[in-house]
């Protein structure tokens, strides 16, 4: 039975890896979507332009796309979108391939992850103020973000 899978954003490294993993599967038709002119449009045989995920029209346009192309599953292919799609999963007409919102929310924040695992020995110590630091070196990291980037240009 053929399944239609939408990958968004398809030009991200994750989107390209999903394409490489599934493009020759005989029972899968891949659709790539992007909000920007990235190289996903050259990689995906079926490419769709969608509004930016924070745009007021995004959810409606996504559901229209799901209906138009009979999309069965959506792979969010960026950390910001894993969280966003898990939040809107019940309002979408296709199954989002991700964990429930509470899990995605904890995993998206270093502080929430460290708090969740606070009693485990692998959790680093966190300082609230510079005055608390008694020994160096210490590492500073943003609570949310990856690869020195903060926002998704999806």
In order along its 154 residues, the chain shows pLDDT tens digits of 899 999 999 999 999 999 999 999 999 999 999 999 888 899 999 999 999 999 999 999 999 999 999 999 999 999 889 999 999 999 999 999 999 999 999 999 999 999 999 999 999 888 889 999 999 998 888 888 765 555 555 5
Residue 125 has what pLDDT? Answer: 87
Query: What is the C-alpha separation between 143 and 10, in angstroms, rounded?
Result: 26
Residue 73: give the domain boundaries. 1-154
Look up the CATH number of the domain holding residue 51. Answer: 3.40.50.20
The number of folded domains in the chain is 1
Per-residue buried b or exposed e for 72-94, using 16+ beta carbons within 10 Å of the residue's own CB: bebbbbbbbbbbbbbeebeeeeb
């Amino acid at each position: 039975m053929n399944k239609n899978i939408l990958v968004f954003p398809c030009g991200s490294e994750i989107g390209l890896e999903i394409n490489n993993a599934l493009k020759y599967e005989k029972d899968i038709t891949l659709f790539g979507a992007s909000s920007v002119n990235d190289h996903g449009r050259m990689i995906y045989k079926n490419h769709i332009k969608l509004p930016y995920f924070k745009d007021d029209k995004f959810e409606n346009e996504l559901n229209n796309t799901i209906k138009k192309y009979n999309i069965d599953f959506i792979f969010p292919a960026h950390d910001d979108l894993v969280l966003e799609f898990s939040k809107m999963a019940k309002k979408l007409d296709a199954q989002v391939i991700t964990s429930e919102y509470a899990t995605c929310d904890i995993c998206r924040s270093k502080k929430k992850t460290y708090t969740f695992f606070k009693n485990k020995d692998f959790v680093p110590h966190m300082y609230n103020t510079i005055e608390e630091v008694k020994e160096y070196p210490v590492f500073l990291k943003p609570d949310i973000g990856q690869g020195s980037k903060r926002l998704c240009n999806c």
